[in-house]
Amino acid sequence: MSSQPEASDLHVSDELVIKIKDMHKWYGSFHVLRDVNLDVYRGERIVICGPSGSGKSTLIRCINRLEEHQQGDIIVDNVELTNDLKNIDAIRREVGMCFQHFNLFPHLTVMENCALAPIWVKQVPRKEAEATAMKYLERVKIPEQADKYPGQLSGGQQQRVAIARSLCMNPRIMLFDEPTSALDPEMIKEVLDVMIELAKEGMTMLCVTHEMGFAKTVANRVIFMDGGQIIEENNPHEFFDNPQHDRTKLFLSQILAH
Partner 1 sequence: MSTEQSYPVGEHPSLPPPTSEVGIIGWVRHNLFSSTTNIVITVLTIYLLYVILPPLLNWIIFDAVFSADSRDDCRAIAKAGGHELGACWAFIGKRFEIFVYGFYPVEERWRINLSFFLMLAALLPVLFDHIAYRKQGLWFSLIAPFVIGWLLLGGMGLTPVSTDKFGGFMLTLVIGVTGIVGSLPLGIALALGRQSHMPAMRMVCVAFIEFIRGVPLITLLFVASTMLNYFLPPGTTFDLLLRVLIMVTLFSAAYIAEVIRGGLQALPKGQIEAADSMGLKYWQSMRLIILPQALKISIPGIVNTFIGLYKDTTLVIIIGLFDPLGMGRASLADTKWQGLSTEIYVFVAIFFFVSCFSMARYSLYLEKKLHTGH
Specify which residues 128 forms β-bridges with: none
Nearer to partner 1 among residue 69 and residue 216 (C-beta): 69
**Position 180 contacts partner 1 (CB under 8 A):** no
Specify which residues 79 forms β-bridges with: 76
Q: Judged by CB under 8 A, which stretch of 89-97, 133-141, 214-222, 249-257 contacts partner 1?
A: 89-97
Binding mask 113-132 for partner 1 (x = CB under 8 A): ---xx--xx-----------
Contact pick of 6, 68, 89, 201 for partner 1 (by CB under 8 A): 89
**Position 95 contacts partner 1 (CB under 8 A):** yes
Laid out side by side, the sheet with 16-27 consists of: 30-41, 16-27, 71-76, 79-80
Long-range contacts of 147-153 (CB under 8 A, 24+ apart): 147/109, 147/110, 147/111, 148/109, 148/110, 149/106, 149/107, 149/108, 149/109, 149/110, 150/102, 150/104, 150/105, 150/106, 150/108, 150/110, 150/113, 151/106, 153/110
Q: Regarding beta strands 30-41 and 45-49, do their DSSP bridges make them parallel or antiparallel, or are they unpaired?
A: unpaired
**Position 93 contacts partner 1 (CB under 8 A):** yes
CA–CA separation, 99 vs 161, rounded Å?
Answer: 12
**Position 79 contacts partner 1 (CB under 8 A):** no
CA–CA separation, 167 vs 133, rounded Å?
Answer: 9
Asked whether the beta carbons of 138 and 167 are under 8 A apart, the reply is no
Applying CB under 8 A, the site for partner 1 has a residue count of 26
Contact pick of 26, 41, 149, 240 for partner 1 (by CB under 8 A): 149
Q: Regarding beta strands 71-76 and 79-80, do their DSSP bridges make them parallel or antiparallel, or are they unpaired?
A: antiparallel
**Position 64 contacts partner 1 (CB under 8 A):** yes
Contact pick of 15, 82, 107, 237 for partner 1 (by CB under 8 A): 107
Asked whether the beta carbons of 181 and 49 are under 8 A apart, the reply is no
**Position 101 contacts partner 1 (CB under 8 A):** yes
Q: Min. distance of Cβ 53 from partner 1 in angstroms?
A: 18
**Position 212 contacts partner 1 (CB under 8 A):** no
**Position 151 contacts partner 1 (CB under 8 A):** yes
Nearer to partner 1 among residue 122 and residue 237 (C-beta): 122
Contact pick of 18, 40, 104, 212 for partner 1 (by CB under 8 A): 104
Taking Cα atoms as reference points, which of 148, 126, 146, 151 lies closest to residue 136?
A: 146
Q: Min. distance of Cβ 98 from partner 1 in angstroms?
A: 9
Q: Min. distance of Cβ 133 from partner 1 in angstroms?
A: 13
- Given the rule CB under 8 A, which residues bind partner 1? 64-66, 89, 92-93, 95-97, 99, 101, 103-107, 116-117, 120-121, 149, 151-152, 165-166, 169
